[in-house]
Amino acid sequence: MSEVDERPVTIHTDGACVPNPGPGGWGALLRQGSHELELCGGLAEPTTNNRMELTAPIEALEALRRRSVVHLYTDSTYVRNGITSWVLGWQRNGWLTKAKEPVKNADLWRRLVAACAEHDVEWHWVKGHSGDEGNERADRLAARGLAEAVAAARA
């Protein structure tokens, strides 16, 4: 991707896991002007809430076809803090924590770093289940992704 689409894309993401660990789902709402795109998916096999919280912004960013200015909203401090500060140290340390332990979910962190490199991303944290319309829709999409994954596994 080269030329930047200056019309900002707003993305709200969420992940869900019931129980945690257990089946999981992720959801993303993408908006650019009057255009909206809803994305969701999930896993019937056991996963974790953190993996689903990471998967949502990865899938949303990877869905963009042009380099874009992105305002990305998540209710996960794990995702926001990880991508805005922790990941730089992990990369310097060969994907090890300060305690020299392997970084959990390093496969997804690497994908998120690569997806972010394709866009100009500004990260925002929103409190979950607090009435933010974009976050509430992303939450419903994550629940739908989880339900569809479980239903497909039972079929």
Summarize pLDDT for 6-22 with one digit per residue, the tens: 799 999 999 999 999 99
DSSP 42-80: EEEEEE-HHHHHHHHHHHHHHH-SSEEEEEEEES-HHHH
- Binding-site members are 14, 53, 75, 139
> Block means of pLDDT (10 residues each) for the chain, length 155 residues?
78 97 98 97 97 98 97 98 96 95 98 98 94 96 97 91
Is residue 78 packed enough to be buried (19+ CB in 10 Å), middle (13-18) or exposed (0-12)? middle
Give residue 25's pLDDT.
Answer: 98
Catalytic annotation on 139?
A: yes
pLDDT tens, residue by residue, 19-45: 999 999 999 999 999 999 999 999 999
pLDDT at position 6 = 77
Choosing from 41, 59, 82, 139, the catalytic residue is 139
Query: Is 15 annotated in the active site?
Result: yes
Please answer whether residues 61 and 118 qualify as being in contact, where contact means their C-beta atoms are separated by less than 8 angstroms: yes
Could you give the domains of the chain? 9-154 (3.30.420.10)
Q: Which pLDDT does position 1 carry in this prediction? A: 52
75 carries an active-site annotation: yes
| 116 alpha-carbon distance from chain centroid | 11
From the candidates 12, 14, 82, 145, which is the catalytic residue? Answer: 14
At 107 the pLDDT is 98
Instruction: Please give the DSSP secondary-structure letter assigned to residue 128.
Output: T
Is-catalytic flag, 53?
yes
Q: Which residues contact 15 (CB under 8 A, 6 or more apart)?
A: 24, 25, 26, 27, 49, 50, 51, 52, 53, 54, 55, 56, 76, 142
Check residue 2 and give its pLDDT.
55
Indicate if 134 belongs to the active site. no
